[in-house]
Amino acid sequence: MNLLVTGAAGFIGSAYVRALLADDGPDAPGITVLDKLTYAGTLTNLPERHPRLQFVRGDIRDAALVDKLMADANQVVHFAAESHVDRSINAADEFVLTNVVGTQTLLDAAQRHGVGPIVHVSTDEVYGSINTGSWTENHPLAPNSPYSASKASSDLLALAHHRTHGLDVRVTRCSNNYGPHQFPEKVVPLFVTNLLDGDRVPLYGDGRNVRDWLHVDDHCRGIELVRSKGRPGEVYNIGGGTELSNRELTGLLLEACGAGWDSVEYVSDRKGHDLRYSVDWTKARNELGYRPLHDFATSLAETVAWYRDNRAWWEPLKRRRSR
Ligand code: NAD
pLDDT of residue 320: 78
Q: Which residues line ligand 1 (CB under 6 A)?
A: 6-7, 9-13, 34-38, 40-41, 59-61, 79-83, 98, 102, 121, 123, 151, 174, 176-177, 183
pLDDT tens digits for range 233-245: 999 999 999 999 9
Is the domain defined by 2-179+216-240 classed in CATH 3.40.50.300? no
Residue with CA closest to ligand 1 atom 34:
83
Cβ(170)–Cβ(232) below 8 Å: yes
pLDDT of residue 295: 97
Nearest 5°: CA angle at 57, between 44 and 95? 95
- Give the pLDDT mean for 182-187: 97
Residue 142, pLDDT > 70, answer yes
Query: Which residues touch 189 (CB under 8 Å, ≥6 apart)?
Result: 182, 183, 307, 314
178 is an active site residue = no
> What are the beta bridge partners of residue 4?
32, 76
Residue with CA closest to ligand 1 atom 19:
59
- Give the pLDDT mean for 119-138: 98
Of 144, 174, 178, 143, the closest CA to residue 77 belongs to 174
pLDDT of residue 88: 96
Residue with CA closest to ligand 1 atom 12:
7
**φ, ψ for residue 228, nearest 5 deg:** -90, -30
**Regarding beta strands 169-174 and 118-123, do their DSSP bridges make them parallel or antiparallel, or are they unpaired?**
parallel
Write the single-letter amino acid at 167: L
End-to-end alpha carbon distance in the chain: 41
Exactly one of 147, 178, 236, 290 is catalytic; name it: 147
pLDDT tens digits for range 77-109: 999 999 999 999 999 999 999 999 999 999 999
- Give the pLDDT mean for 282-299: 98
- Give the pLDDT mean for 30-34: 98
Residue 322, pLDDT > 80, answer no
- As a whole number of angstroms, the distance between CA 177 and CA 14 comes to 13
Residue 323, pLDDT > 80, answer no
Residue 168, pLDDT > 70, answer yes
125 is an active site residue = yes
Cβ(3)–Cβ(31) below 8 Å: yes
The alpha carbon of 121 and the centre of ligand 1 are apart by a number of angstroms equal to: 9
Average pLDDT, the chain: 97
pLDDT of residue 140: 98
The alpha carbon of 78 and the centre of ligand 1 are apart by a number of angstroms equal to: 9
Exactly one of 35, 59, 82, 124 is catalytic; name it: 124
Which ligand 1 atom sits closest to the C-alpha of 176? 40
The alpha carbon of 98 and the centre of ligand 1 are apart by a number of angstroms equal to: 10
Residue 290, pLDDT > 90, answer yes
> Where does the pLDDT of residue 167 fall: very low under 50, low under 70, confident under 90, or very high at 90 and above?
very high
pLDDT of residue 319: 87
pLDDT tens digits for range 188-230: 999 999 999 999 999 999 999 999 999 999 999 999 999 999 9
23 is an active site residue = no
Write the single-letter amino acid at 21: L
